[in-house]
Structure 1
Amino acid sequence: METALLTTQDAQYAGELLKAGEVVAFPTETVYGLGADATNDLAVKKVFVAKNRPADNPLIMTVADVEQLASFVTISESARQLMAAFWPGSLTIIMPIKPGQVSMLVTGGLQTVAFRLPANETARAIIRAAGVPIVGPSANTSGKPSPTTAQHVWHDMQGRIAAIVDDGPTEVGVESTVIDMSTDTPTILRPGAVTQQQLEAVLQQPVFDATSTESVANHVTPKAPGMKYRHYAPDKNVLMFDPLDALALKSALAAEDVVMAQDETLATLNLPLTRTWSLGATLDSATEQLFAGLRYYDESPDVGTIYVEKMPPIGLGKAYNNRLAKAAGNQEFTL
């Protein structure tokens, strides 16, 4: 299959490809997504094949407006409050499905389904052109770091999908927050740019954060991506490190090792530029650059271990550390 490279001016054509049952990678503000008609089982199967994705890993459905949800799910008042506050944006909401309305390929056989309305205007234009909700998992090979540029998508998906729509680098850099609103207690299943504190402020009730405690047995279908299978992992070895240990790390580095860190930490390390990847000076920039740096070094020859700085575990730092821990298999540099 020849994969077409499209621009933001080709949203209508991308939508027509989706209507025809093709798979199209599209930009969002979080990471690039892999789109297919969520109502077309054959199209959805193509997504699983392209990503080499386990069949019991449910897919997020992506919509252009709230009206597209009506025939698929039962929307509680609390869920509507979250939509009003955070949509369009980096929040995915899990809700009970209406019987017979969503394919088991999308839900993994569950009685719930996850929806998101992205902030990226091109994404919404493509979905409007398609005329149906589309599935939107990250546009990468399953288990690998998520794509934040069209070039990342091309690396993983060239020859596997019909087209890639290029809208430049993504703004957030990690996937959306996933909140389960299908139970009595709102529960975060994946951290992202929308924080627990922000959710509680809107709902005016406690929100349980299951991201550090939730584990899924082999025989159980996860409710959200990232809960059961290894995610975000390069082929090369990745170790997390605390910035307070920067000098000790410098002494332990082998000649082929590289470091991804914020500018202040890199100044302390004083390593050659060829061995460092700047995560910028802010938490926002670090999150935006995390997957890009991991992909760059994973594809670079003669790179040994990739050492990556941890962030304070508050706000967006929880999402950053969650992705980093999964990429590293929870391995840390120790003194």
Structure 2
Amino acid sequence: MAEVYLRPMGILHGAEARAAIASGVAVPLAGGPAAFSLAQILARDEAKNKVIEIGGLTSTSDAILKERLQALMAPRAPVAGLDFSRPLVMGIVNVTPDSFSDGGEFADSAEAIRQGRALAAAGADILDIGGESTRPFSQGTDLDEERQRVIPVIEALRDTGVPISIDTRKSSMMIEAVSAGAAIVNDVSALTYDAASPDAVARLQVPVILMHSQGPPETMQVDPTYEHVLLDVYDSLAGHIARAEEAGINRGTIIADPGIGFGKTHLHNMQLMAGLSLFHGLGVPLLLGASRKGFIGTITGEKEARHRISGSVSAAMAGMQQGIQMVRVHDVRETVQALAVWFRLNDPR
């Protein structure tokens, strides 16, 4: 458990970021195109919380704060050949009959393949293919069934030129998917569901996404509780990253996901979304998966997940404003358009 945390504030983008860095009033955020001019010092003893200007932080003699600042500033390594000169868009391909978001619309392999090609054509940087629903209270999927769902889709989509991510909790599925053409492992259990997963990922030598969840899908929404959701999720992810490194996984290949909607109440989700920039302190790229999720429906009153497109794009843009390096979305075309306009407005050049 960390004693002190730093959350970047005053985040700038594009021309404003470059000008602020040049004038010394801001520093780069994660070595990318964004910068930050303020930082909030957080502690579990809230009486110690305060906001400090970047000049005061860069000149501090506090070794812990210096270490935290370096983690915030350090460049992130490319993932599957993709750098973070701009936020990346991961398109979701659910090959499941019971997904919360699309109701099994792409459960058939042929439909999933068509959807994957459509997302690639719409501008997806990564295709995330999963054959097991992890919606709240779901019961899991047999390995053979999961294999039959995803392997044909991966094999068919590996010629798109878009890196493929395999969304699975099972080590055997990770190995087979990478053999079939996947380049990234995305595990909602952060390699804790299957004891063989850390070793498998270390041997595969592919990037891995470690997501936070308070419990498995079957029970994660049964009264989720936290002492301080931002700091608790941060500490949990820091622990997952440390254990992955102990298993032989290169830190430069790790991506962290705070797990919006996975073992969180509506208030927890709101607090995480508001404080996303804190997780840059983990020193790894960040992925936000908020697309079509329940908190959007709670805010807007929209009960049908597939009709939460506008809210999902807004959530993705909120993450990008906080410097998130990747967003995982169902609605790629709309998100890519929003990103293109936002990026150009921030940097007309």
TM-score range, shorter chain: under 0.3
TM-score by length of 2: 0.23
- Higher RCO (C-alpha 8 Å, min separation 6): 1
Q: TM-score w.r.t. structure 1 length?
A: 0.24
Structure with the higher fraction of residues in helix conformation: 2
